[in-house]
């Protein structure tokens, strides 16, 4: 699945590689939540040079379909298991904090890579099970992602919302280099399995929790112009 990106004046100097993951909860009931984890990869190439950035999940570079929030995620959390048959993580439950250490890496290719500045954007929302239809009446704050700042990462409050968090890394990421972590855990409030409406129906019944992380980069050469053109700001 390819997602179109808006070209910018510095498009010829950019190559975006974005990793995205979804955590889905289907059939939540008062007794237990039956979550399922899905992950997808979104990539977009804007003309090109040699900027190639990837998400690093629990110290493993994750690229390709069904990688983020997959086996690497299960391996980092002893209470979870990975089902090869179903290509899914099993045992994920609300009310438990799970390790999910995310970083960014300047991935080197045979053609070489150049130093870069990076930005990540993490999204969280509730949708109707099996669809992309958002359920804006459901509370995204029940999806708790622990972001790490003060280690080179800063959150941009002007660009962030209840559903989206934008972080910038202040350092230069050299070829094959990695940033420090920008997130280290996921926690879904157990309230999703108990909250009821006025008619006694479970509010989150049939809802899915979606989490997506993307990373993009700009070159360090003429960095201020590149950042302004691509991000509308300097780092």
First to last CA, the chain: 30
E-assigned strand segments in 46-152: 53-57, 60-62, 81-83, 88-90, 97-106, 116-128, 143-147
Could you give the CA distance from residue 223 to residue 235 in angstroms, rounded to a whole number? Answer: 9
Specify whether the CB–CB gap between 36 and 188 falls below 8 A: no
The mean pLDDT values, 10 residues at a time, for the chain of 235 residues are 27 30 40 39 38 88 73 94 86 93 84 81 87 89 96 96 95 92 96 92 87 84 54 61
Could you give the CA distance from residue 55 to residue 86 in angstroms, rounded to a whole number? Answer: 23
pTM for the model stands at 0.75
Largest CA distance in the chain: 61
CA distances from 71 to 16, 30, 37, 60, 223 (A): 24, 28, 10, 10, 36
Residue 182: Cβ within 10 Å count: 28
Backbone torsions φ then ψ of 193, nearest 5 degrees: -95, 0
pLDDT at site 22: 42
Pair of tokens at residue 227: 């950042």
If you compute the radius of gyration of the chain from its CA atoms, what whole number of angstroms results?
18
How open is the CA angle 93-99-102, to the nearest 5 degrees? 125
């Amino acid at each position: 699945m390819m997602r179109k990106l808006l070209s910018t004046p510095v498009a010829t100097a950019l190559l975006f590689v974005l990793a995205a993951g979804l955590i889905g909860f289907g059939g939540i009931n008062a007794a237990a939540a039956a979550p399922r984890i899905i992950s997808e990869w979104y990539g977009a190439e804007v003309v090109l040079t040699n900027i190639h950035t990837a998400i690093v999940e629990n110290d493993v570079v994750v690229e390709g379909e069904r990688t983020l929030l997959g086996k690497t995620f299960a391996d980092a959390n002893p209470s979870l298991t990975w089902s090869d048959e179903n290509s899914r993580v099993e045992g994920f439950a609300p009310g438990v904090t799970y390790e999910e250490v995310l970083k960014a890496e300047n991935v080197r290719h045979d053609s070489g890579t150049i130093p870069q500045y990076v930005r990540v954007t993490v999204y969280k929302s509730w949708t109707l099970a099996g669809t992309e239809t958002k359920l804006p009446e459901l509370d995204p704050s029940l999806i708790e992602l622990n972001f790490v700042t003060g280690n080179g990462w800063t959150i941009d409050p002007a660009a962030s919302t209840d559903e989206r968090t934008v972080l910038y890394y202040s350092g230069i990421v050299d070829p094959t280099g990695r940033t420090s972590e920008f997130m280290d855990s996921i926690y879904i409030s157990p309230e999703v399995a108990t909250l009821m409406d006025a008619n006694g129906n479970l509010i989150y019944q049939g809802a899915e929790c979606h989490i997506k992380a993307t990373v993009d980069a700009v070159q360090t050469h003429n960095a201020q112009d590149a950042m302004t053109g691509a991000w509308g700001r300097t780092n």
